[in-house]
Amino acid sequence: MNLRLGTRGSRLALEQARRVAGQIRKLNPLLEVDLVVIKTSGDARSEFGDEIPKEIGEFSSALEKGLMQNEMDVAVHSAKDLPARMHDSLVVGAYPERVDPRDAWVFRKGENGSTGGWVGTESPRRRLFWSERCPKAEFRNIRGNIDRRMDRCLEEKNWQGILLACAGIDRLGGPIKGLEIERLDVDWMVPAPGQGALAVQCRREDHRTIEFVRKLDDRKIRTCVTAEKSFLQTWGGGCSESLGAFSQIQPNGTLHLRAGVRDSFGRPQRASIEGPQEEAELLGVRLAEEMRRG
């Protein structure tokens, strides 16, 4: 029996897909898992220019289309790339893992205190929060997949450093030689909703495939991502929004959700909420509504 697993073609996406494929094989020993590599419009943008996807879903839409057209049975995404509301015919069958959700400041070895040069990031969220720490920072978009961006930061002296997700760096084995990273506190640099988590997407009516992949699902990760995506959907943000949301299950079992957005004066606004895990979606809605009221 075969399972077709769809993925983007970047080194990071392939690494993520192989990890999930290995987990599926381990839990379903008689199942063969074949990778189906899809090139997305987001990949094309980052390959040919400094412009990056403007909306959540640009990296995921080609994979979702492949699923709906039966070109694959499952698709592996970075959870942060998935829109808060997906097509009715699709469902996330599993959130199998979440690694370090924090953002990272990446810089040439020994130069963390240096001034001058560009700060490389396309993310309005990262620009908003980083400007608190470095009000005079000059931002530039930096193109390419994560390994290419690290190469560029090392090779081109006009970059002071770049801002990336810790998860991508870690999944590729750490920063390249000659670079160091500083992991940024989530209370200040609030991560993107779903950052660090993987999502395995299936067709809603494909019960056989859902049965295979649901063994991978981590309930705690699903709960946290649900709260974060609920905040995103209620607020109405996409990749172009200066918005972060991150949740954790506390030692006492409650769910703590923190969020950060740009206020009407262009400054960071942060708030948090805590409640039962069973109310993850409601907590996201409530926090967004409370922050809108100021």
Catalytic residue among 4, 45, 98, 125: 125
- Is residue 143 part of the annotated active site? The answer reads yes
> Tokens 């094989």 identify what position?
25
Helix locations, 243-294, DSSP H: 280-293
**Given 11, 18, 140, 143, the catalytic residue:** 143
Query: Which 8-state DSSP code applies to residue 81?
Result: G
Interatomic CA distance for residues 185 and 179, integer angstroms: 20
Cα 171-225-287 angle, rounded to 5 deg: 135
**Best CA proximity match to 57, nearest among 38, 43, 39, 42:** 42
Catalytic residue from among 80, 102, 108, 258: 80
- The span from the CA of 244 to the CA of 268, in Å, is 10
The verdict on whether 153 is a catalytic residue reads no
- DSSP run (H or E) holding 153: helix 146-155
- Spatial contact of 117 and 105, defined as CB atoms under 8 Å apart: no
Q: Reply yes or no on whether 239 is catalytic.
A: yes
- Please report the sign of the dihedral spanned by the C-alpha atoms of residue 172, residue 214, residue 288, residue 54: positive
Nearest by Cα to 290 from 275, 270, 264: 270
Q: How far, in Å, CA of 27 to CA of 212, rounded?
A: 8
Out of 126, 222, 229, 258, which one is annotated catalytic? 126
Report the alpha-carbon distance of residue 106 to residue 216 in Å, rounded. 32
d(CA 52, CA 59): 10
Of 253, 99, 242, give the one whose Cα is nearest residue 168: 99
Which of 102, 239, 258, 262 is the catalytic position?
A: 239
Return the active site residues. 80-81, 125-126, 143, 149, 239
